[in-house]
Structure 1
């Protein structure tokens, strides 16, 4: 009788143990690549040694459809690198009028007044960090060192799992480029634009993932992961905006249908027109091996694939005309 009881107990333990193991494994699989990550931290799989990233093959520039039809110029707009620490948790493009609507902190260059309550009139009247007087606003999620406690505003008060010391931008490059097959037309005043996907981790696909990460010493390598860079290199982020405008709207539901990306050959989709293509390039001084994390919504777990940026055009007609003339004329300009 005693042997039978012991055998029954052993069978029950095995059944319960197997069920518990299956439950744990099921939960781990459901959690995906972020399983095992500390709360509020990126997963180990979010990082990659830049030396393990294959170089991007050289791309032959697209030929203009006919002589003189392309717009091969570029215009760099010198807006500093947010030396004034212009930060907030607002998002004028996605959630205008809603304080802290972003649920994470953004870093800005350009218009010094930008927040959730900004209007066309307030943007047009504000001061700017751009040397040439461009009052447009350019912004993106801050980059943090989650291993170091923050002591400044937007570090100690940051919510939604976005904590840690903010890493300041070592350089910010705001550049407009033309289109390889067409002349560009002027952006309309107060055009709203967004690139990237702030919910890429849970979106079920990478269709809107646009940001590329890298290291300053390996400009031919780009990744959607956080790069581990050799000593002396800067961590880089590059964000390219859509540049095919529908000719009608300055904003749209979902923030994507009024501005589209051109095809790989540079041709804009039907019923859209090429406007100057905005590229924002960021660089950071990060010690080799130090963890980094961009601000994100809590469920996005600081995935590097969720990187994104926003832009509101507040150039004057004269300033925008100068950009268009530079690009269509094939010149390299700076303001």
Structure 2
């Protein structure tokens, strides 16, 4: 059985939203403000479940996915009503909201029945059936998406690209485009003055904030004497091969398009809605160290520039408001760090962790864990805004995953209560034990959008989302499934607990922009220095590709054979260590600390040849001299 009994409102242990308040963009009820766009607000049934017997799990998963589909369909009706000139709250209630409640009531009843047949029937689920049409900030429930911006400035202009139901980012007729013929507005961006995104359901200009105006965060408290100070880094590439789907095997196993938005996948190459634990264990990996078959995935980031990806007419893509060019990350760093109070224990194999809340826009920030910033400013973090970065600075998404485990379960009914965040002093809740914390840093080379013209000149960017979540930055989230080999997991724990820097990128010695900028004062809140090299990425022969995409970085992200499957280790930055030696021909510098090291990591063929050439030339010269001596002696006689 997953979890305990009854219902839970908010996971008090799994909240990473301390510090919300000033500029959080929430109203008195805890909802994130909708910035002029109406949306559908339904209670999150899955988040309230804490007890689901194993025998009931498949049926419960199917019904939870059906609830998401019902909301998405109702939101499409709201969009269509908006195109027709707007609707009033009364007519919307009768034609959209009441039928939605009836469908939800039936699904919720089947969930309760399934749980009751195998265990204790949950109480209070019936109260979660009713939804509301939440008005935009202007207080008008008729401020629906795709109303050409007349209610709150959320439309896309008369010649714009308000996406039709097929998601082609064109006009209602499916083929009407702007005057430039690109499915955009007159200026070529598909945005009205206040923007509404290429899909017509966000983002809007109020979703962005200047990172330089964000106050720096307070430094983290110093670690205690028994802290585990080491790090372990896994280099798994940037998904240059384009492995995507709109599934989520954690939340909606066995359900196609269970996420209703597209994910980037790195690491495990077999993750889809139907992947079993055995499938994940047998799949290939994009990680340099083949012992890491873990799955790391997150919503894709898109430029709202009129591009039609291959998913423009597909579920999870354009048909659900996720439109625009998918941006390949410039860098992705996966670093496992220790606990500031003591040693960590190994993660259990196949542990699932979700950090953040894909529905935080309507659920409120209780489980949100979005962190947006810019390189050089990473001690300034935004929770509910996309950052506007100054020239020369890149957009950074950071996920700090839960790092306390209950010691028993690899998942829970609501996918949260089996793991928890540490308290401010680094302690875990009672009954939980510290595990290595995954810090995931994703960097994008995207320009700050031109807000004055709603993204016409420089396009808006946003993450994919459930359609009713309006691409709000607060909905950002990351997913992780631990498929580390047992030996490599033991190596990770040993490195972290002994204060060393280990892993496939540990010897790079790069500090990146987040550690030494004058602006961020050393970025005390930033994750450990990530790798600046992707040359150790494993070839992606088995990746299934989805939407095609191009960025100016794609040519730099071609996979190359891994340098070495064995992790390296160096002293952690907190320990005094000599400066690393210059990089070898194998693309990585050898560690400064003494110790055994795989032969392959000490240099490539070019370096080996450089050492052999002097000996070879000397041998040839000696043989030539001997030949000349013998010939001269023959000529004398």
Q: TM-score, normalised by structure 2?
A: 0.46
Which of these residues, 303, 312, 319, is aligned with residue 481 of structure 2? 312
* Structure 2 counterpart of 1:58: 219
Deviation per CA, 1:180-204: give whole Å up to 9, x if none: 112111111100110001111111x
Deviation per CA, 1:22-55: give whole Å up to 9, x if none: xxxx7632669x9543331112221001111111
Deviation per CA, 1:145-185: give whole Å up to 9, x if none: 1233233x335531311111111111100110110112111
The structure-2 alpha-carbon separation of the partners of 1:189 and 1:63, relative to structure 1 and needing over 3 Å to count, comes to: same
Q: Give yes or no for the alignment of 1:185 onto 2:295.
A: no
269-278 vs 38-47, which deviates more?
38-47
Query: 1:84 Cα deviation (Å)?
Result: 1.1
Tell me how far apart the structure 2 counterparts of residues 184 and 97 of structure 1 sit (CA, whole Å).
Answer: 34
- Aligned to 1:176, the other structure's residue is in SS state strand
- Aligned to 1:54, the other structure's residue is in SS state coil
Query: 1:334 Cα deviation (Å)?
Result: 1.9
Assess if the C-alpha contact under 8 Å between 1:88 and 1:154 holds in 2: no
Which of these residues, 394, 403, 415, is aligned with residue 234 of structure 1? 394
Q: Give yes or no for the alignment of 1:291 onto 2:456.
A: no
Q: Give yes or no for the alignment of 1:334 onto 2:503.
A: yes
* Structure 1 counterpart of 2:320: 160
* Structure 1 counterpart of 2:305: 147
Tell me how far apart the structure 2 counterparts of residues 56 and 150 of structure 1 sit (CA, whole Å).
Answer: 39
Q: Give yes or no for the alignment of 1:46 onto 2:204.
A: no
- Aligned to 1:174, the other structure's residue is in SS state strand
* Structure 2 counterpart of 1:255: 415
Deviation per CA, 1:277-305: give whole Å up to 9, x if none: 01110010112323111001111100000
Query: 1:97 Cα deviation (Å)?
Result: 1.1
Tell me how far apart the structure 1 counterparts of residues 140 and 362 of structure 2 sit (CA, whole Å).
Answer: 12
Query: 1:234 Cα deviation (Å)?
Result: 0.8
- Aligned to 1:318, the other structure's residue is in SS state helix
Structure 1 runs of 4+ with >4 Å offset: none
Tell me how far apart the structure 2 counterparts of residues 47 and 201 of structure 1 sit (CA, whole Å).
Answer: 15
Assess if the C-alpha contact under 8 Å between 1:70 and 1:180 holds in 2: yes
Instruction: Please say which structure displays the higher CA radius of gyration.
Output: 2
- Aligned to 1:253, the other structure's residue is in SS state coil
Q: Give yes or no for the alignment of 1:118 onto 2:275.
A: yes
Assess if the C-alpha contact under 8 Å between 1:155 and 1:165 holds in 2: no
- Aligned to 2:139, the other structure's residue is in SS state helix
Tell me how far apart the structure 2 counterparts of residues 206 and 102 of structure 1 sit (CA, whole Å).
Answer: 19
Q: Give yes or no for the alignment of 1:273 onto 2:433.
A: yes
Tell me how far apart the structure 2 counterparts of residues 279 and 211 of structure 1 sit (CA, whole Å).
Answer: 12
Task: Give the number of aligned pairs.
Answer: 304
Tell me how far apart the structure 1 counterparts of residues 426 and 399 of structure 2 sit (CA, whole Å).
Answer: 17
Q: Give yes or no for the alignment of 1:128 onto 2:285.
A: yes
Tell me how far apart the structure 2 counterparts of residues 113 and 63 of structure 1 sit (CA, whole Å).
Answer: 40
Tell me how far apart the structure 2 counterparts of residues 201 and 189 of structure 1 sit (CA, whole Å).
Answer: 32
Assess if the C-alpha contact under 8 Å between 1:79 and 1:131 holds in 2: yes
Tell me how far apart the structure 2 counterparts of residues 131 and 315 of structure 1 sit (CA, whole Å).
Answer: 13
Query: 1:232 Cα deviation (Å)?
Result: 1.8
* Structure 2 counterpart of 1:170: 330
Query: 1:93 Cα deviation (Å)?
Result: 1.2
- Aligned to 2:488, the other structure's residue is in SS state helix
Over aligned residues, Cα RMSD in angstroms?
Answer: 1.8
* Structure 1 counterpart of 2:167: none
Correspondences of 1:219-230 after superposition (within 5 Å): 219-224=378-383, 225-230=385-390
* Structure 1 counterpart of 2:264: 107
Deviation per CA, 1:231-288: give whole Å up to 9, x if none: 2211110001111111111010111000011101000000001111011100101123
- Aligned to 2:320, the other structure's residue is in SS state coil
Tell me how far apart the structure 1 counterparts of residues 486 and 243 of structure 2 sit (CA, whole Å).
Answer: 26
Assess if the C-alpha contact under 8 Å between 1:150 and 1:163 holds in 2: yes
- Residue ranges of structure 2 left out of the alignment (5+ in a row): 1-87, 89-134, 146-151, 155-195, 450-458, 505-637
Q: TM-score, normalised by structure 1?
A: 0.87
- Aligned to 2:252, the other structure's residue is in SS state coil
Tell me how far apart the structure 1 counterparts of residues 497 and 288 of structure 2 sit (CA, whole Å).
Answer: 23
Query: 1:219 Cα deviation (Å)?
Result: 2.2
Q: Give yes or no for the alignment of 1:70 onto 2:227.
A: yes
Assess if the C-alpha contact under 8 Å between 1:294 and 1:307 holds in 2: yes
Assess if the C-alpha contact under 8 Å between 1:74 and 1:326 holds in 2: yes
Which of these residues, 450, 469, 476, is aligned with residue 300 of structure 1? 469
41-50 vs 163-172, which deviates more?
41-50
